[in-house]
Structure 1
């Protein structure tokens, strides 16, 4: 699938996003969830942030799939998930 960039208003905290598009006249809906995860909440040491990301992603709700890892800061990392569609199982 080719990506399309859509500007989302910058608000702090979690965001639930629904996008409805028509592709060749067929309406489709996509759902996204942006969540902020704080490094201090990780069980792994600060120098192992990659391991922390793996734990977050692997432990996330099975109805959602990783879409994008945002720009991390010293305090947190924003992660975007996309709701799986029926055909994705």
Structure 2
């Protein structure tokens, strides 16, 4: 019996009152929905460590803990990154 594939961990780091964050939510939502995977959102407003790490780069997309994009999310690049992550898991 084979081990079930682990899905990539996709996290969008945001902050309040951020117009780029709203665009990023939509972009990440479209890409992950098309690939059938979930994602989570974390706010720097609630996490001092995230705020210190990403202060000037919000929004940020992390895939398996690695920063993959910031400010304006490139959907093509994100989809390619996630497909690669899915391929390596299977």
What's the TM-score once normalised by structure 1's chain length?
A: 0.31
**Structure showing the higher helix proportion among its residues:** 2
Larger radius of gyration: 1
When you count strand as a share of all residues, which structure comes out higher? 1
Query: Greater relative contact order: 1 or 2 (C-alpha under 8 angstroms, separation 6 or more)?
Result: 2
